[in-house]
Structure 1
Amino acid sequence: MRRFKIYFIIATILSALIFIKAKFFTSDKGKSNTANKSSDRPSTPVSVFVVGNESIEPKVFATGTILANEATELKAEASGRVVYLNLPEGQFVKSGTLLLKVNDAEFQAQLSKLKAQIKLASSNEERQRQLLEINGISRQEYDNALATLLTLKADSAFVQTQIAKTEIRAPFNGLIGIHSIGPGAYITPAVTAASIYQTDPVKIEFYLPEKYSAMIKTGDQIKFRAEGLKDVFTAKIIIKDPAVDTDSRSIRYHAVCTNTGGKLLPGTFVNVELRQNENSKTLFVPTEAIVPVTNNKIVFVVKDGIAKEKIVKTGIRTEDFLQIISGISVGDSVVINGNFRLKNEAKVKVVKSKERVAVNREE
Structure 2
Amino acid sequence: MPYKSLLAILCFVVLAGCSDPQAAGKFAMPPMPVEVAQAKVQKVTDRFDGVGTIEATDAITVVSEINAAVVSLPFQEGGYVKKYDLIAQLDDGQLAAEVARDEAVVAQNRANFERMKVLVEQKASATKDLDDATASLKIAEANLALSKAKFEKTRIRAPFSGLIGARKISVGTFLRTGDAITELANIDEIRVIFSMPERFLLQLKQGTEVTVSSAVNPELEVKGRVIVIEPIVDESTRNARVVARVANPGQKFRPGMSANISVVLSERANAITIPNEAIFASGNQSFVFVVKSDSTVARTALTLGIRLSDVVEVLQGLEVGANVVEAGHQKLFEGAKVMPISTEKK
User: Does the Cα contact within 8 Å between 1:289 and 1:337 map onto a contact in 2?
Assistant: no
Residues in 2 aligned to 1:302 and 1:59: alpha-carbon distance in whole angstroms: 26
Of the three residues 19, 22, 42, the one matched with 1:55 is 42
Instruction: Give 1:186's aligned amino acid.
Output: F
Q: TM-score, normalization: structure 2?
A: 0.68
* Cross-structure match for 1:101: 89
Amino acid at match of 2:257: T
Picking from 60, 63, 83, the partner of 1:72 is: 60
User: 2:232 and 2:342 mapped to 1: Cα distance?
Assistant: 38
| Percent identity of equivalent pairs | 21
Contact 1:49 1:285 (C-alpha < 8 Å) held by counterparts: no
User: Is this contact kept in 1: 2:63–2:178, CA < 8 A?
Assistant: yes
Q: Does 1:257 align with 2:254?
A: no
Structure 1: give runs of 5+ residues left out of the alignment.
1-46, 358-363
SS at match of 2:100: helix
Asked whether the equivalents of residues 271 and 313 of structure 2 are also in contact (C-alpha less than 8 Å), the reply is no
SS, match of residue 229 in structure 1: coil
Superposed counterparts of 1:280-359, under 5 Å: 280-283=270-273, 286=276, 299=286, 301=288, 316=306, 318-319=308-309, 329=318
Indicate the structure (1 or 2) with the bigger Cα radius of gyration: 1
- CA change 1:290–1:194 in 2 (3 A) is farther
Query: Paired residue for 2:213?
Result: 225
Residue 287 of structure 1 deviates from its aligned partner by 9.2
Q: Find the residue that maps to 2:94 and give its secondary structure.
A: helix
Contact 2:42 2:273 in 1 (8 A): no
Partner residue, 2:157: 169
Is 1:92 aligned to 2:80, yes or no? yes
Report whether the alignment pairs 1:123 with 2:111. Answer: yes
Q: Structure 1 residues 250 and 141 mapped into 2: Cα distance closer, same or farther (>3 Å)?
A: closer
Deviations 1:277-333 (A, max 9, x none): 333125566499688x9xxx6656568999x998x887555455565667x656696
Letter of the 2:254 counterpart: L
Q: Provide structure 2 residue ranges, at least 5 long, that are not aligned to the other structure.
A: 1-33
Aligned-pair Cα RMSD in Å? 4.3
Q: CA deviation at 1:154?
A: 0.9
**Equivalent position of 1:7 in the other structure:** none
TM-score relative to the length of structure 1: 0.66
Q: CA contact under 8 A between 1:132 and 1:139: conserved in structure 2?
A: yes
Q: Secondary structure at the match of 2:180?
A: coil
Q: 2:127 aligned with 1:139, yes or no?
A: yes
Structure 1 counterpart of 2:267: 277
Distance 1:242 1:353 in 2: 52
Query: Which deviates further from its counterpart, 314-323 or 111-120?
Result: 314-323
Match status 1:198 vs 2:186: yes
Aligned residue pairs, count = 302
Per the alignment, residue 148 of structure 2 pairs with 160
Confirm or deny: 8 A CA contact 2:290 2:325 kept in the other structure: no
Residue 59 of structure 1: CA displacement? 5.3
